[in-house]
Amino acid sequence: MRSVPQPTKLQFDLSGSQHLICVTSEVIDVIYTRLEELEHIPQNIQILQLGETVKARKDWKIEQFNSVENLQKKLREILERAYIGTRFYAIGSAQFIYDVENCARSFGMSEEEISLEVFDSKARRVYCSTCHTINYPVSTNLITCSGCGIKLEIWEHFSRLKNAYLGVCADAENPGDLL
Amino acid sequence: MNEQTVKIVDIKKLTSRIKSFRLVSANGKKLAPFSPGSHVAVEITLEKKVRRNSYSLCSSPYETDFYEIAVLLAEKSRGGSQYLHQISVGTELNIGFPKNSFTLASLARKHILIAGGIGITPLLSMLTTLSRYQTTFELHYTAKSQTECAFYEFLKQKYGSQVTFYFSEKDERLSSNKILKEQPLGTHIYLCAPHSLSDNFYAEARALGYPDLAIHREIFGAAKTNNKKPFTVVLSQSGKEITVPKDKTLLAALETAGFPVNYSCRVGGCGACELGVLAGEIHHLDSYYSPEERAKQNCILSCTSRAKSKQLIIDL
């Protein structure tokens, strides 16, 4: 059982019949490169991109969204009609990955059907064990929770379901004493 | 004690070769509860030899006072089903505790159940649960004819349009492509049918892109292989050498030689008879290990699998 995520690289599963990709505009080029690396580029590809860019390639079916809520709305519409055999991919920040993977899982998609890649693994999501708020982005090992204000020590324990690390009160014994 | 003692309180002839048995506790102890898809091992003593045949529990998991099993009189019966078909109400049997290697996926959004003949039995307990939770499901059930279709009236009455019957005498065939294509995300399939049908559905599901973990199979008979060769095994701890003839399993050969090995299903599905292998090339014939486990070549299910090499050294 792993407590810490193994950094994963987005991998196309060619046994899938349909490929749905969610990506942030900063890393769209990564998708193009990865697709072109494949011996056989799969047919049914749909790309949902967060962030609008001028240079949209004509040869891929890409839809651009100005907000994550709009992207999620479209994503849910697609997932509602999608058939099993579909594969789901997401690449972007930890927050973005969580926002879209959550949708895919709510429609019954499993780890076997999902491939993710986090860009900028320095920006972590941290789950406060006291008030359950997700703190993001976190790049240190000690933070103040944005939800309840307590000092959180970030443990090397990661939840795949929440896509977040566990944050535990650092000075529970003696508030203010962080030794 | 790994058993329960039960008494037969009712026997029904469902078809020309299938009988159902209602079992209640014979010693005042409550029957063990079970999850849908479970089976129990029934102890049968024939000519002083004890064997255990597994039968799926087809009753409702919510009925705590009785179990129901259905037994097909096998054409080439090793004696087990023959014995059960001629005993009467009132007979007491020793059975094991329920075990389950065919569970319902709790996160599935839709369940497609495929039954071939007696394969309907584990699916019956699943249907009770699926129906209670009001989950979306379909049952596709193939049998020779309506009169040879066990539980036909019950299924038709209780589950109506959610069941489709296919009678081979009327040339009605299941089309795996037609049943499996264009299903929603989160669909899981449950196959309990003869090998050829089960393999066909498995292959079609994979071709359509179903993830492997969404396909669940219960195998009633051992995998058939035409090419059974004799081989020898060396028991690493004693150095003793035992010959396994082509018509005997490794498990049976070890038992005959006085080395009892743990076992349960005896058809390569549960893993109870696993033995470590230290040398030799294994011919895996089970339906239990993953491809990765098979490739490691360091363990064998002695009830079914054999050797590609002339000899195996086993950890015993």
**B197-249 per-position pLDDT tens digit:** 999 999 999 999 999 999 999 987 654 555 678 999 999 998 999 999 888 88
- Asked if residue A1 is part of any domain, the answer here is no
Q: Can you tell me the ipTM of this complex?
A: 0.83
Structural domain count of chain A: 2
Cα separation, A169 vs A144, whole angstroms = 9
Encode pLDDT of B9-39 as tens digits: 999 999 999 999 999 999 989 999 999 999 9
- Chain A residue with Cα closest to B183: A83
Contact B73, B101 (CB under 8 A): no
- Asked if residue A177 is part of any domain, the answer here is no
Can you tell me which residue has the tokens 């489709």? B164
- Chain A residue with Cα closest to B108: A108
Residues of B numbered 195-214 whose beta carbons fall under 8 angstroms of chain A's beta carbons: which are they?
206, 208-214
State the pLDDT confidence band at A179, using cuts at 50, 70 and 90. Answer: low
Q: Is B186 left (phi over 0), alpha (psi -120 to 50) or beta?
A: left
Beta carbons of A108 and B187 less than 8 Å apart: yes
Burial status of residue A136 (CB atoms within 10 A of its CB: 0-12, 13-18, 19 or more): middle
Cα separation, A94 vs A119, whole angstroms = 7
Cα separation, A100 vs A77, whole angstroms = 13
List residues bridging with A166 in a β-sheet: A127
Can you tell me which residue has the tokens 């029957």? B31
- Asked if residue A113 is part of any domain, the answer here is yes
Given a cut of 70, is residue B144 above it in pLDDT?
Answer: yes
Question: A34 and A100: one domain?
Answer: yes
Q: What is the dihedral of CA B233, B234, B236, B240, to 10 degrees?
A: 130
Question: A134 and A58: one domain?
Answer: no
Question: A74 and A153: one domain?
Answer: no
- Asked if residue A8 is part of any domain, the answer here is no
User: The domain that contains A90 carries what CATH number?
Assistant: 3.40.50.80
The pLDDT value recorded for residue B207 is 96
Question: A78 and A26: one domain?
Answer: yes
Q: Give the domain-ending residue among A98, A118, A138.
A: A118
Residues of A with CB under 8 A from a CB of B: 15-18, 79, 82-87, 107-110, 112-113
State the pLDDT confidence band at B100, using cuts at 50, 70 and 90. Answer: very high
Question: A113 and A136: one domain?
Answer: no
Cα separation, B140 vs B142, whole angstroms = 7
As given in the structure block, the two tokens for residue A148 are 């309840």
Cα separation, B273 vs B265, whole angstroms = 9
DSSP B303: T
- Asked if residue A36 is part of any domain, the answer here is yes
Contact A139, A112 (CB under 8 A): no
The pLDDT value recorded for residue B266 is 79
Which residues have C-beta within 8 Å of that of residue A147, sequence separation ≥ 6? A128, A131, A132, A133, A135
Instruction: Report the gap between the CA of B296 and the closest CA in chain A (Å).
Output: 21
Question: A148 and A93: one domain?
Answer: no
Given a cut of 80, is residue B145 above it in pLDDT?
Answer: yes
The pLDDT value recorded for residue B192 is 96
Question: A52 and A114: one domain?
Answer: yes
More confident residue, A144 or B294: A144
* Mean pLDDT for all residues in chain B: 91
Cα separation, A83 vs A8, whole angstroms = 25
- Any idea what the Cα angle at residue B93 is, between residues B78 and B266, rounded to 5°? 40
Question: A90 and A111: one domain?
Answer: yes
Q: Give the domain-ending residue among A76, A102, A118.
A: A118
Identify the weakest region by mean pLDDT among A19-23, A107-111, B143-147, B227-231. Answer: B227-231
More confident residue, B49 or B128: B128
Whole-angstrom CA distances from A135 to A72, A145, A150, B42, B297 are 21, 7, 12, 56, 47
H-state helical runs in chain B: 80-86, 120-132, 152-159, 176-180, 195-208, 250-256, 291-296
Q: List the single residue in B107, B184, B212 with the smallest CB-CB distance to A84.
A: B184
The 3-state DSSP class for residue B80 equals: helix
Quick one: how many helices (H) and strands (E) in chain A?
A: 3, 10
Cα separation, A177 vs A174, whole angstroms = 5
Encode pLDDT of B301-316 as tens digits: 998 899 989 999 999 8
Strand ranges inside chain B, DSSP E = 4-13, 18-25, 39-46, 49-56, 67-72, 92-95, 110-116, 136-143, 163-167, 187-192, 215-217, 231-235, 241-244, 274-279, 282-283, 299-301, 306-307, 311-314
Q: List the single residue in B184, B206, B212 with the smallest CB-CB distance to A83.
A: B184
Q: Give contacts of A87 with chain B, Cβ < 8 Å.
A: 209
The pLDDT value recorded for residue B221 is 62
Burial status of residue A151 (CB atoms within 10 A of its CB: 0-12, 13-18, 19 or more): middle
Question: A58 and A144: one domain?
Answer: no
Question: A23 and A96: one domain?
Answer: yes
Q: Give contacts of B107 with chain A, Cβ < 8 Å.
A: 108, 110
Cα separation, B207 vs B24, whole angstroms = 45
The pLDDT value recorded for residue B290 is 77
- Chain A residue with Cα closest to B204: A85
The pLDDT value recorded for residue B116 is 95
Q: Give contacts of A16 with chain B, Cβ < 8 Å.
A: 209
Cα separation, B56 vs B70, whole angstroms = 8
- Asked if residue A146 is part of any domain, the answer here is yes
Given a cut of 70, is residue A1 above it in pLDDT?
Answer: no
The pLDDT value recorded for residue B157 is 97
State the pLDDT confidence band at B174, using cuts at 50, 70 and 90. Answer: very high
Cα separation, B104 vs A179, whole angstroms = 49
Question: A138 and A157: one domain?
Answer: yes
Q: Is B301 left (phi over 0), alpha (psi -120 to 50) or beta?
A: beta
The pLDDT value recorded for residue B229 is 85
Neighbour-count burial for A154-163, b at 16+ CB within 10 Å, e otherwise: beeebeeeeb
Cα separation, B116 vs B274, whole angstroms = 29
Q: What pTM does this model have? A: 0.80
- Quote the domain boundaries for residue A158: 124-169
Question: A98 and A140: one domain?
Answer: no
The pLDDT value recorded for residue A161 is 82
Integer Rg of chain B from CA:
21
Given a cut of 90, is residue B89 above it in pLDDT?
Answer: yes
- Asked if residue A40 is part of any domain, the answer here is yes
Given a cut of 70, is residue A77 above it in pLDDT?
Answer: yes
- Asked if residue A179 is part of any domain, the answer here is no
